[in-house]
């Protein structure tokens, strides 16, 4: 049985962790299957958005450390293979398409770090989050030390990165770390609804919005300002812009083709 389920639903790629008997603990094989799914999302022109979710009661208990110890000691870290794209984006190319994230149960270490590399997050009430690495003799190496303080502030981030303590979905919602707090069992349906709205929007517009936002975060606002209109120019020449205007004049829902 595959450790990761991958299903195309119209323009959405559903990526599901599928090791519930092990609380979806991530071994190296699971990582590479997720990385292959991310590559598919990035390179399939029919796909516009990804939805990351998990089977069972929990999103993930974290990395299976006994399977990863040798990788962490190599000085280079986690490396995706050919036809793969790092779902943590600490190495190689990042996604140009958005990912919606749905969590439940426990979402530890690598689960938090994949969430931090997603764009819209949904969690069931009572979901528990943690970066446990300092309790295991290491430190977070999937992007939490790079991104968590940006999301929840320096003090909040260090409070949990340095102790390995848990926080819950209600706290995450207050911080803005997740955007939707839902009843248990509803996280996938709500995440899918958001993904479907993204998939119906103009793909070039969505990707342009995401690209501009990422430039502002990674390279600074001044660089993002300089790139704004040059990046907008080819979008303005697309058929989707014409469809957007025409659908507005005709008072109908637009049908975008990403061209």
| Active-site residue (options: 133, 196, 222, 243) | 133
Calculate the alpha carbon distances from 51 to 8, 47, 98, 193 in Å. 10, 11, 9, 10
Question: Catalytic annotation on 243?
Answer: no
| Active-site residue (options: 21, 46, 55, 113) | 113
* Whether the Cβ atoms of residue 127 and residue 97 lie closer than 8 Å to each other: no
Strand 128-130, strand 166-168: pairing: antiparallel
Helix (H) or strand (E) holding 52: strand 49-54
Question: Catalytic annotation on 133?
Answer: yes
* Whether the Cβ atoms of residue 129 and residue 101 lie closer than 8 Å to each other: no
CA distance linking residue 166 with residue 235, whole number of Å: 43
CA distance linking residue 20 with residue 198, whole number of Å: 29
Residues designated as active site: 113, 133
């Amino acid at each position: 049985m595959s450790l990761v389920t991958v299903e195309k639903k119209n323009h959405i790629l559903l990526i599901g962790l599928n090791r519930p008997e092990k609380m979806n603990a991530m071994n190296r094989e699971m990582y590479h299957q997720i990385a292959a799914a991310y590559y598919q999302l990035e390179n399939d022109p029919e796909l516009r958005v990804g939805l990351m979710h998990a089977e069972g009661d929990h999103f993930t208990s974290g990395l299976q450390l006994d399977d990863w110890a040798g990788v962490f000691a190599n000085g280079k870290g986690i490396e995706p293979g050919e036809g793969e794209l790092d779902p943590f984006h600490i190495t190689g190319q990042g996604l140009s398409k958005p990912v919606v994230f749905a969590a439940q149960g426990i979402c530890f270490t690598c689960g938090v770090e994949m969430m931090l590399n997603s764009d819209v997050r949904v969690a069931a009430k009572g979901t528990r989050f943690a970066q446990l690495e300092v309790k295991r003799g290491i430190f977070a190496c999937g992007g939490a030390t790079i991104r968590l303080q940006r999301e929840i502030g320096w003090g909040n981030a260090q409070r949990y990165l340095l102790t390995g303590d848990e926080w819950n979905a209600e706290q995450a919602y207050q911080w803005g770390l997740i955007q939707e707090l839902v009843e248990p069992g509803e996280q996938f349906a709500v995440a899918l609804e958001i993904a479907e709205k993204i998939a119906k929007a103009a793909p070039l517009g969505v990707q342009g919005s995401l690209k501009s936002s990422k430039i502002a975060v990674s390279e600074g606002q001044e660089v993002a300002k300089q790139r704004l209109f040059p990046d907008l120019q080819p979008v303005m020449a697309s058929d989707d812009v014409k469809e957007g205007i025409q659908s507005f004049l005709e008072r109908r829902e637009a049908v975008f083709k990403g061209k």
